[in-house]
Structure 1
Amino acid sequence: MDIDLFLQRIGLQSLPDSPMKRLRALYAAMTKTVPFENVAVMEGKSISLEPGDIFAKVVEQGRGGYCFELNGLLAHLLEQFGYRIERLIGRVWASGAPAPLLTHMTLRVFVEDRPYLCDVGFGGGTLREPLPWVTGAVAIQGPDRFRLDATDNGETMLSRLVDAEWKNMYSLLPCPVRSQDYIPANHYTSTHPNSHFTQGLVAALVTDSGRVTLRDRLFRTVGAEGETERELTTFDEVVQVLGQEFGLRNLDLAALQSRLSYLFA
């Protein structure tokens, strides 16, 4: 991996020497510059998990991705810096499914033997910084509140405080997995008709005071001044928002317009 080119992509010129400060700097910069998005899926493209392909897409082509791509890229970067990493897989409960499949990738990163949950690929609920792996403790991250809890079946649940109520986001299996173990989950996520990512356009990015999200035609901004929503009325508006708000470029406009035709029928 060309680390200098990656740092340029996420807007960093240098990094702290301290392992913890370096991890925080990389994490924060990545969540604010590399969007969570499924545009390639909506373009009808296959999603490769090969490190070189992810680097080319995210860094060289200025695109984003979802958990397998973004956390996969972060994992390879951190390994080059010498961090000890465990790759994890989990179930997304935020979807409301009664028995979610194993379709989410996160990382457990160790700094001075202390574990942290790192996840730069969970859309509108993405952690703003590495989360200490301590169950039962509430972690304050800017305007957000998160908590890890042990479940009855041995998994670890991440929850987020929303409207004064703790909402389950995803639960993680206790055992680490290997990179190749994500292949079936990635195939399902990017191709199956029941997958959230094949049913409509999604994009999300962390900001200093909140988040920006796009779901099909609904563009939403959450910040210090409150929330705003705007419904996009044309395909050109969608492309404009993807470029201006999420920094996406090199889009296959013909394929994307064809796949999104249902939005403006």
Structure 2
Amino acid sequence: MVDFARLEQYLEIDTDQYHDTSLETLNAYIRQYALHVPFENINVQNGWPLALTDEAMMHKVVDEQRGGFCYEMNYFFKHYLEYKGFEVKALSATVLSPKGWAREGSHMSLQVVIEGVPYVVDVGFGDMPKFALPMDETSMQDVTGSYRVHHVDETHYDIEKWSNDNHQWQTSYRVLNEPKQLDDFKDGIEFNQSSPDSIFVQGLLITIATEVGRNTLTENHLTLLVNGEKTVQDTTPDNYQAFLEKYFGIPEMTIQTFE
């Protein structure tokens, strides 16, 4: 078993204050993880295998100061929460993009139950709040926008974000409320790391939450969201490594997307 105390030290978690299985503690863990660990697909872009064990992710996060994408991030975080005593389920989900629904069940989301009450937790998606979402359809506000859970039927629910442009709730992804194991995501993992149709194969995506918004890097642009205002800079082979360090805390490294 990995030493999760190393992760807590890296995330700067106050374990004296946060050590029970309350919602307040859960939200503290989510917040610290979201602020320290970027969502990124560098391994896919570089042709490296994903970090799908706790040992591999501990090395990647703590030693390399990096992150990962949904399977890596959420399964690792699931095991950390279970280590802390929480009841956690991994669930399959399908992302809805402007181009339509992605491959069915190819995203991993988490559900945490506290005293019989379920909450959505997701540290492996590029745009989620820095806290657990209640499943009673209450709208919750973070600096990046308003989010809620919307129940579709008895077995599915949507994660939605309010669109200020369209003045309506828009679906981020749809969850099948049935517990899954990592092996159940085998096809999705293979697709997302090797298929030419996968957005993670097609291009680079690095994004991290900040206190005032979100920083996002692609092969074309660096986008900084600060208190609702966006600034955009071009990304080039000459400046991307400096951007990694400054805006994502990732030490300078070579990403094949730019080579």
TM-score scaled by structure 2? 0.91
1:130 aligns with 2:128: no
Cα RMSD of the aligned pairs, angstroms, is 1.8
Residue 142 of structure 1 is matched in structure 2 by 143
Q: Tell me how far 1:98 sits from its aligned partner.
A: 4.4
Q: 1:216 aligns with which of 199, 214, 219?
A: 219
Greater CA drift, 45-54 or 193-202: 45-54
Q: Distance in 2 between matches of 1:239 and 1:49?
A: 25
Change (3 A) 1:133 1:152: closer
Q: Distance in 1 between matches of 2:143 and 2:114?
A: 22
Residue 157 of structure 1 is matched in structure 2 by 158
Q: Distance in 2 between matches of 1:37 and 1:67?
A: 9
* Contact 2:134 2:149 (8 Å CA) reproduced: no
* Contact 1:9 1:62 (8 Å CA) reproduced: no
Q: Distance in 2 between matches of 1:21 and 1:178?
A: 27
Q: Tell me how far 1:36 sits from its aligned partner.
A: 0.3
Q: 1:94 aligns with which of 83, 89, 97?
A: 97
Q: 2:79 aligns with which of 65, 76, 81?
A: 76
Q: Distance in 1 between matches of 2:98 and 2:88?
A: 27
Q: Distance in 1 between matches of 2:55 and 2:228?
A: 40
Q: Distance in 2 between matches of 1:34 and 1:247?
A: 8
Residue 187 of structure 1 is matched in structure 2 by 190
Q: Distance in 2 between matches of 1:38 and 1:184?
A: 17
* Contact 1:67 1:122 (8 Å CA) reproduced: yes
Instruction: Report sequence identity in percent.
Output: 26
Which residues of structure 2 form unaligned runs of 5+? none
Q: Secondary structure at the match of 1:117?
A: strand
Q: Distance in 2 between matches of 1:55 and 1:208?
A: 24
Q: Secondary structure at the match of 1:176?
A: strand
For residue 156 of structure 1, what is the amino acid of its counterpart? Answer: Y
Residue 107 of structure 2 is matched in structure 1 by 104
* Contact 1:36 1:66 (8 Å CA) reproduced: yes
Change (3 A) 1:132 1:37: same
Q: Distance in 2 between matches of 1:37 and 1:108?
A: 22
For residue 76 of structure 1, what is the amino acid of its counterpart? Answer: H
For residue 62 of structure 1, what is the amino acid of its counterpart? Answer: Q
Change (3 A) 1:236 1:8: farther
Q: Distance in 2 between matches of 1:186 and 1:209?
A: 32
Residue 237 of structure 1 is matched in structure 2 by 239
Change (3 A) 1:84 1:211: same
* Contact 2:159 2:173 (8 Å CA) reproduced: yes
1:34 aligns with 2:32: no
Q: Tell me how far 1:143 sits from its aligned partner.
A: 4.3
In the alignment of these two chains, the number of paired residues is 254
For residue 201 of structure 2, what is the amino acid of its counterpart? Answer: T
Q: Secondary structure at the match of 1:24?
A: helix
1:64 aligns with 2:59: no
Q: Distance in 2 between matches of 1:73 and 1:98?
A: 26
* Contact 1:35 1:64 (8 Å CA) reproduced: yes
* Contact 1:109 1:115 (8 Å CA) reproduced: yes
Q: Tell me how far 1:99 sits from its aligned partner.
A: 5.9
TM-score scaled by structure 1? 0.89
Which of structure 1's runs of 4+ aligned residues deviate more than 6 A?
A: none
Residue 116 of structure 2 is matched in structure 1 by 113
Change (3 A) 1:196 1:23: same
Q: Tell me how far 1:117 sits from its aligned partner.
A: 0.2
* Contact 2:27 2:131 (8 Å CA) reproduced: yes
Residue 248 of structure 2 is matched in structure 1 by 246
Q: Secondary structure at the match of 1:69?
A: helix
Change (3 A) 1:168 1:235: same
